[in-house]
């Protein structure tokens, strides 16, 4: 279970490094997509920067898994917005694709979440 979460986190990190760079750098396709959805460009930049911050944290899964969990949680939040957009403004098949990516992000987030910190905070 841990190895599969590490591999998934690594693959997702590489994916989100690319997509984050495309959003943050203003790739024409990303500009066109945000224009089509009538979203402000600061939101494109914010999503890209969050991905560029969270993806390297996910790459730390092999050494510091708690950081990977934090990165996966941040990207999961971004993916909730992406899933909403794809369900509302596109055919449903696009929405289901983003839900799959969201669930893949949630897997390492839950596997490596520092549950002992949470239980200590509650007590």
C-alpha to C-alpha distance for 60 and 68, rounded to whole angstroms:
6
Which segments of 1-123 does DSSP mark as H helices, in order?
A: 2-25, 28-36, 41-59, 65-89, 92-111, 115-122
- Structural domains in the chain (count): 1
Residue 119 pLDDT: 67
Range of the domain at 75: 2-122
Q: CB burial class (10 A; 0-12, 13-18, 19+) of residue 86?
A: buried
pLDDT in tens, 47-106: 999 999 999 999 999 999 999 999 999 999 999 999 999 999 988 888 999 999 999 999
In this predicted structure, what is the pLDDT of residue 118? 66
Amino acid 24: pLDDT: 97
How many Å apart are CA 20 and CA 54, to the nearest integer? 10
- The model's pTM is 0.89
């Amino acid at each position: 279970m841990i190895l599969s979460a590490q591999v998934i986190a690594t693959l997702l990190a590489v994916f989100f490094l690319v997509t984050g760079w495309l959003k943050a750098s203003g790739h024409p396709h990303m500009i066109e997509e945000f224009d089509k959805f009538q979203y402000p460009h600061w939101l494109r930049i914010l999503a890209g920067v969050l991905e560029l911050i969270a993806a390297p944290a996910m790459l730390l899964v092999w050494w510091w898994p708690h950081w990977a969990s934090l990165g996966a949680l941040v990207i999961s939040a971004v993916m909730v917005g992406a899933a909403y957009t794809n369900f509302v403004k596109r055919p449903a098949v696009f929405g289901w694709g983003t839900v799959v990516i969201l669930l893949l992000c949630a897997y390492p987030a839950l596997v490596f979440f520092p549950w002992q910190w949470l239980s200590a905070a509650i007590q």
